[in-house]
Amino acid sequence: MITKPRVLYIEDDVDSRRLVSRVLMTHGYDVVLAADGLEGVTLARESRPQLVLMDINLPNLDGRVVTTRLRSLVDLEDIPIVALTANTSSGNRELA
C-alpha cells in the first residue's frame, strides 16, 4: 500500500486551516491539523509528518518555541518546517 506524504499544519485561524488543508489534500497529501503550538508538538510526535507548515503567531506556544521543541526531539529534528503567516509587519521574515 502506498502511503500519502503527511503534512502537519499548525494554524489557529479556522479559515486558513480549511483552505490550506483542502489544497494539500487535493494534491495528494495526508493532512494533520493543529489549532495551537502545544497541540502541534503533540501531533508531530504522534503522526511523524514529513513536513510541518506553521503560523508564527500561535496561542499557547508560538512558532519559535514549537520549532525549538521539534528540533530537540531526535525523531523529529530533521523534518522541514516552513513558516507561514499573514502578518506582514517588519521583522517577521527574520524571525522565521
Say whether pLDDT at 67 is over 90: yes
Say whether pLDDT at 33 is over 90: yes
What's the distance, CA 16 to chain centroid?
12
- pLDDT band at residue 92 using 50, 70 and 90 as cut-offs: low
Average of pLDDT values for 30-52? Answer: 97
**Burial of 54 from C-beta contacts in 10 A (0-12 / 13-18 / 19+):** buried
Check residue 70 and give its pLDDT.
Answer: 96
Check residue 3 and give its pLDDT.
Answer: 85
